[in-house]
Amino acid sequence: MKKLLAALLSVAMMASLVACSASESTATTESTVSGIQDTLTIGIASDINNLNPLAQNDQINNNCLALTHQTLVFLTNDTNEHVANIAQSWEWVSDNELVFHLVENATFSDGTPLTAEDVVFTYEMAIDPSQSSVSGSLGLVEAVSVVDAYTVSFQTTSYSNEILSVMAGYPTSIQSKAAYESGMESPWLIGSGRYVFEEWKEGQYVSFQLNENFWGDEPGVAQQIIFKPYLESSARVAALQSGEIDVCIDPPINELSFLEDDANVTVETRSGTRLFYFGFNTEAEPFDNETLRQAVACAINRDQIVQVILSGYGQTQTTIVNRGVWSFYDDMEGFDYDVERAKELLAEAGYAEGELTVELYASNGSPYKEIAPMIQEYLRQIGITVNIVSLDEATFKADAQAGAHQMFLWRWNVIDRLDEIYTDLFRTDSASNYHHFSDEYVDAMATAVLTEKDKDTREQLSIELQEYLVEACPQVPLYVADLVIAYNNGLQGTYLFGGGNHNWSTAYVEN
């Protein structure tokens, strides 16, 4: 049965892949097609940290999982439409029931069939907070049940505007019930995607081999895909130019001119969706003081940060909703850079200049290690001393969840899900709420935006919530960075997203 996803990926591939015949595509599962490189190697800016879909929601992990796993629906990278994947169709039977009809030929990489039992098994884990990092995004789901071998029913407390977007995310990739019941180690590595997990050496690489049992119409092309972390951006550039890697994620902006002059390299830029922000732990002193947070917000020169860090390859913003997401509203007054206003608010908050010393938690990778000293200097100018605490990302996230921090630098990537902002970042007790922000009005409004059917009413609710959160100031939005990526001229079959949640499962390098 033809699926919309197969058609979608065919369109997404560049001309050379489209020209490849069906027999040639199939042949790549057995031997390398003449003129196609065996291995595609991608240089990444941070290390992989977890390949259990439900236990994580990090961009780099999701890039890996896009090779090995598949979701009920697939989100397109141009129109943000939900198209068929493991589910061939779906419908809301009522405001409290969403039914999915699955394809009937899908299999896992070990050859076992993928059925409704596996979907129910996956989602019963997904809605359980003890097993899932994304259970909060599925808070409206009460139960999941098998209708027949290829039909699944989701019972919900209400209609949801964004449940399909949650289901398009790789954390909710369909997992194999049989793999878990077998007692095998790491059963979550079994998926239904174009590639299978091969090896992971922490800090060095993670590799994937072509799935010989792939069930779909468009198998992978490269025999092997490898992700290699290079925490220093200049090292990624050197690796690309030497041929050690084929793709350089997030090349340093100050080296783009050299890459653009390299006849063997293509530099691609496009609007991004990943918001970098400066946040506060609003639960603990001193930043349980809203006026103090506002004072700090007025001290931050966003324009200068974009020029210094991005050389202009990005856009500043005032609102907490990622630029490009539906209902993005950046027209409120907010807290623009104004040192005098910052000092006035600092005094209003009850602090004299020179009285306050605070800690800023930041990852030891780029761009955080470059932004942190700028924040330090901005706050020095209004009489606040900042001590920078530099951590690896895993430690940073653990400390932020535990509330050990006072201020922090982080990012949040959203393609189309408002709920991924309002609920994941600001809802009381959300695991991703590093602000430790709790507000009954915000919780209620987030639910209203999620469930309101009338588009105009929903947009107004979203705008009101953005204005409220900007005023409450649990975070200072800094900028949305453009997607900048450099790669070997022979790279084909890419499927890129502005925020970096790329799908490399159809990509390869043509010699």
CATH number at residue 421: 3.10.105.10
Neighbours of 462 (CB within 10 A): 24
Residue with tokens 């029913």: 153
**What is the separation of C-alpha 273 from the centre of its chain, rounded to a whole number of angstroms?**
9
139 located within any domain: yes
Last residue of one domain, picked from the residues 139, 168, 192: 192
188, pLDDT greater than 50: yes
| CATH code for position 199 | 3.40.190.10
pLDDT at 25: 32
Last residue of one domain, picked from the residues 158, 192, 226: 192
64 located within any domain: no
Q: How many residues does the chain have?
A: 511
pLDDT at 335: 96
Same domain, yes or no: 364 and 437: yes
Query: Alpha-carbon Rg of the chain, whole angstroms?
Result: 23
Same domain, yes or no: 232 and 277: no
Same domain, yes or no: 185 and 259: no
Q: Strands 356-363, 407-413: parallel, antiparallel or unpaired by DSSP?
A: parallel
Q: Give the pLDDT mean for 23-43.
A: 63
| CATH code for position 125 | 3.90.76.10
Same domain, yes or no: 160 and 103: yes
Query: Is 203 or 1 the better-scoring residue by pLDDT?
Result: 203
User: Using an 8 Å Cβ cutoff, are 163 and 82 in contact?
Assistant: no
Tens digits of per-residue pLDDT, 84-129? 999 999 999 999 999 999 999 999 999 999 999 999 999 999 999 9
Q: How many domains does the chain have?
A: 3
Same domain, yes or no: 409 and 460: yes
Same domain, yes or no: 396 and 253: no
63 located within any domain: no
pLDDT at 172: 97
394 located within any domain: yes
pLDDT at 394: 86
Neighbours of 91 (CB within 10 A): 9
Q: Give the pLDDT mean for 455-468.
A: 98
Q: Which of 40-44, 130-134, 419-423 has the highest mean pLDDT?
A: 40-44
Q: Which of 194, 135, 216 is nearest to 169 (CA)?
A: 135
Q: Whole-angstrom Cα distance, residue 124 to residue 108? A: 19
Same domain, yes or no: 304 and 392: yes
Which pair of tokens denotes residue 287?
A: 């930043």
398 located within any domain: yes
Confidence category of residue 393, pLDDT binned at 50, 70, 90: confident
User: Using an 8 Å Cβ cutoff, are 220 and 505 in contact?
Assistant: yes
Q: Give the pLDDT mean for 33-37.
A: 80
Q: Whole-angstrom Cα distance, residue 58 to residue 413? A: 9
| Burial bucket for residue 116 (CB in 10 Å: 0-12, 13-18, 19+) | buried
**What is the separation of C-alpha 242 from the centre of its chain, rounded to a whole number of angstroms?**
29
Same domain, yes or no: 279 and 392: yes
Same domain, yes or no: 164 and 216: no
DSSP at 194: S
25 located within any domain: yes
Same domain, yes or no: 20 and 169: no
62 located within any domain: no
pLDDT at 462: 98
Q: Cis ω on the peptide bond leading into residue 252 (within 30° of 0)?
A: no
Same domain, yes or no: 131 and 84: yes
Last residue of one domain, picked from the residues 167, 192, 217: 192
Backbone angles phi, psi at 183, to 5 degrees: 85, 5
pLDDT at 34: 65
This prediction has a pTM of 0.84
Same domain, yes or no: 478 and 494: no
Mean pLDDT of the chain: 92
212 located within any domain: yes
Which helix (H) or strand (E) segment holds residue 408: the answer is: strand 407-413
Full residue range of the structural domain in which residue 85 is found: 70-192
Instruction: Please list, in sequence order, all residues whose beta carbon lies within 8 angstroms of the beta carbon of residue 237, skipping any fewer than 6 positions away.
Output: 248, 251, 252, 255, 258, 259, 486
